[in-house]
């Protein structure tokens, strides 16, 4: 029910953004005379929404004529993110509420989220290495702290393949197997 309300709200915002972009386009391209009654109405309805976007585009060196496209695209991408995040949060709430009925369920839940945290740290570590944020970067350091215990010994055993270090991939699969074993035993 809540997810449907979020989806309909996001769709309404997306449709409104599309109408504002279309109205702004119609006035700017003179499909509608800007000085006629409909033109003045469209300008009054679209300018307060499009003007901040136009100002931002001018400051960043963009074309203010494309403010409608930015509004439309931002509403589309933002809507997808909001709906996906809401789906994930509601799924996690259902998962936690279903698992927190007993001590065994809580232990399984803690083990599951612990393994997921380690997998997230692996992803952050790998992506940090791609952008040059290494071990001493303030943002990536926690990922190194969480994953060094498994990647350093694997690095001693498994040589790099060319210029690629495959130990994070092996650690990922090892964590998946270990997570299934541990959560199955608990």
Distance CA 71, CA 16 (A): 10
Domain ranges of the chain: 2-80, 102-185
SS3 sequence of the chain: CHHHHHHHHHHHHHHHHHHHHHHHHHHHCCCCCCCCHHHHHHHHHHHHHHHHHHHHHHHCCCCHHHHHHHHHHHHHHHHHHHHHHHHHHHHHHHHHHHHCCCHHHHHHHHHHHHHHHHHHHHHHHHHHHHHCCCCCCCCCHHHHHHHHHHHHHHHHHCCCECCECCHHHHHHHHHHHHHHHHHHHC
pTM for the model stands at 0.67
Distance CA 16, CA 4 (A): 18
Structure confidence at residue 94 (pLDDT): 87
CA dihedral 18, 19, 20, 21 (to 10 degrees): 50
Structure confidence at residue 121 (pLDDT): 95
Instruction: State pLDDT tens for residues 110-132.
Output: 998 999 999 999 999 999 988 88
State which residues of the chain have pLDDT below 70: none
Distance CA 28, CA 67 (A): 11
């Amino acid at each position: 029910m809540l997810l449907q309300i979020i989806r309909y709200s996001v769709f309404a915002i997306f449709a409104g953004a599309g109408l504002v972009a279309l109205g702004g386009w119609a006035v700017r391209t003179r499909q509608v005379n800007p000085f006629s009654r409909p033109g003045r109405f469209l300008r009054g309805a679209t300018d307060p929404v499009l003007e901040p976007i136009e100002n931002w585009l001018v400051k960043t060196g963009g074309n203010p004529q494309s403010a409608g496209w930015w509004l439309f695209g931002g509403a589309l991408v933002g809507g997808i993110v909001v709906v996906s995040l809401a789906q994930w949060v509601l799924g996690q709430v259902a998962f936690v509420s279903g698992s927190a009925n007993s001590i065994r369920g809580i232990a399984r839940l803690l083990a599951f989220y612990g393994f997921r945290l380690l997998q997230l740290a692996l992803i952050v570590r790998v992506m940090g290495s791609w952008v040059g944020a290494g071990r001493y970067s303030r943002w990536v350091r926690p990922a190194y702290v969480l994953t060094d215990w498994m990647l350093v010994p694997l690095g001693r055993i498994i040589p790099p393949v060319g210029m690629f270090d495959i130990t994070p991939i092996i650690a990922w699969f090892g964590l998946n197997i270990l997570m299934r074993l541990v959560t199955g035993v608990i």
